Structure 1
Amino acid sequence: MGITLAEEIALLSLDDESGVARQRQAAGWAVAGAILLELVMAERVSVSGTYLELRDATPTGEPLLDGRIPLIEAWLRGRDKRKVTDWLTKDHPKAFGAALESLGERGLVVAHVHKVLGVFPHRRYPEADGAVERALRERLRDVVLQDTDPDERTAGLIALIHSAKLHRLAFPDRRHDSVAPRMEEIAAGQWAAESVRAAIRDVEAAMVAVTAVTVLTATS
């Protein structure tokens, strides 16, 4: 496996030159959802309806994913299952940063830290190697704009981008209404086993629920 779905979403969100994350809040939810989805695909957790269960605590060999397994295990605290929305809410503040750190360890971005007013750390992650992002964007264009059949991972990535409304990050030169219908079609398509499609649907529903609460809280 190349970089994870979560790292791909984080990479799309970063401005190549400044290293500033765009749409950070929404991208954070998508990254948390992407980590969870990959754990489902790796058969380490299961998502059914509104609930999350840990199925296997064996490491996957991917540090970003493996770092979440003991956290989920501790979070469950002996319970068989808990709500997906509760886990996403818990992981959201840290998941994006973890994905950025992982990109740095791969040498794809470089962390720059300076202190605002001499006190508050401000981090930027300018791109160090653009080849991976270029290949990623080409893959997305082939599937969304050229109607190429997606593989399971690409379809999952597109579904997450669509549900988090990150269309502009993936296709900055395209109008929302020119890409959203195809992305919706992919998200709902017959591109994977029923168990994975069901997990995508349930993770998407959970992301919509938690982001709706965030928006209401911010505007109240």
Structure 2
Amino acid sequence: MNLLEELTLLAHDQLGRRVIDNTRIDHGLGGALLLELVLAERIDVADRRVVTRGDGPLGDALLDEALDRIAADRRSRKPVDWVKRLAKGARHRVIERLVAAGALRVERTPVLGIFSRTRYPGAHGAEPAARAEARERLRGAILGSGPVLPRTAALCALVAATELDRKLFADLDRKLVRARLKEIGQGEWAAAAVRKAIQDVQAAIMAGAVVASTAAAVSS
């Protein structure tokens, strides 16, 4: 499972219901795309702008499309710009991928005979193993005190930026969780350039979600 798939699984409960709003999920996935490219050493953030590194495909359609878009863009854009651009359509594609892989299934229930409610429970009536593994990996990182692996640190950054930790770890002390997530984000768990890029993407997710939520509130 990559970061996009893990974040999508974590953003739904065992009944397949969203535990955070679509705005946060979408911006989180836009950020997850950037973080996967950071971890693959195919992009960097230099002078607060996203720049590409290396060449050749990664073998993942979503990642390769994102990388091609960044490389082909004539403008030098900030992480927050790419988070918003890459967020569009990502959620549906990731869910389709998880359904095709047998991790989730689509459950549609009629509402008042007019609308339908869509949920994404585990394909076999049980919690997807990948969700349980990701959640326990995060819990271990939060309750621990040492350094964590770069991929786990990146997932921690996504969870913190989308405020998903409020739902996943409601049984833990809120201040402890936020303090540990901040510590992980600033810790010496990866090369300085990678760590800084992940911090910039995390900030971009938070900023993008706030702007989108404010715009939605004003329009309503």
Deviations 1:100-156 (A, max 9, x none): 222223211112356767776753211126222221121111111133531110011
Q: Measure the CA separation in 1 of the matches of 2:145 and 2:200.
A: 25
User: Equivalent residue for 2:151?
Assistant: 153
1:85 aligns with 2:80: yes
**Offset at 1:183?**
0.7
User: Equivalent residue for 1:66?
Assistant: 64
Deviations 1:84-112 (A, max 9, x none): 22222122232222222222232111123
When the two chains are superposed, the root-mean-square deviation of aligned CA atoms in Å is 2.4
Deviations 1:16-57 (A, max 9, x none): 12x122213212211210111111121222222432223345
Equivalent residue of 1:82, what SS? coil
Q: Aligned match of 2:19 in 19, 22, 34? A: 22
Identity %: 37
Q: Aligned match of 1:124 in 84, 109, 119? A: 119
The alpha-carbon distance between structure 1 residues 48 and 123, as it changes in their structure 2 partners (threshold 3 A), is farther
Q: Measure the CA separation in 1 of the matches of 2:116 and 2:70.
A: 28
Equivalent residue of 2:104, what SS? coil
User: Equivalent residue for 1:54?
Assistant: 52
User: Equivalent residue for 2:106?
Assistant: 111
Q: In the alignment, is the contact (CA less than 8 A) between 2:8 and 2:95 conserved in 1? A: yes
User: Equivalent residue for 1:163?
Assistant: 161
Q: In the alignment, is the contact (CA less than 8 A) between 1:85 and 1:207 conserved in 2? A: yes
1:97 aligns with 2:95: no
Q: Aligned match of 1:213 in 199, 208, 211? A: 211
Equivalent residue of 1:100, what SS? helix
Q: Measure the CA separation in 2 of the matches of 1:191 and 1:53.
A: 22
Equivalent residue of 1:68, what SS? helix
In structure 1, runs of 5+ residues without a counterpart are none
**Offset at 1:83?**
2.7
**Offset at 1:192?**
0.4
* One-letter code aligned to 2:169: F
Q: Normalising by structure 1, what TM-score? A: 0.85
**Matched residue count:** 214
In structure 2, runs of 5+ residues without a counterpart are none
User: Equivalent residue for 1:177?
Assistant: 175
Q: In the alignment, is the contact (CA less than 8 A) between 1:144 and 1:182 conserved in 2? A: yes
Q: Measure the CA separation in 1 of the matches of 2:162 and 2:75.
A: 28
Deviations 1:179-202 (A, max 9, x none): 111111001111100111110121
User: Equivalent residue for 2:35?
Assistant: 37
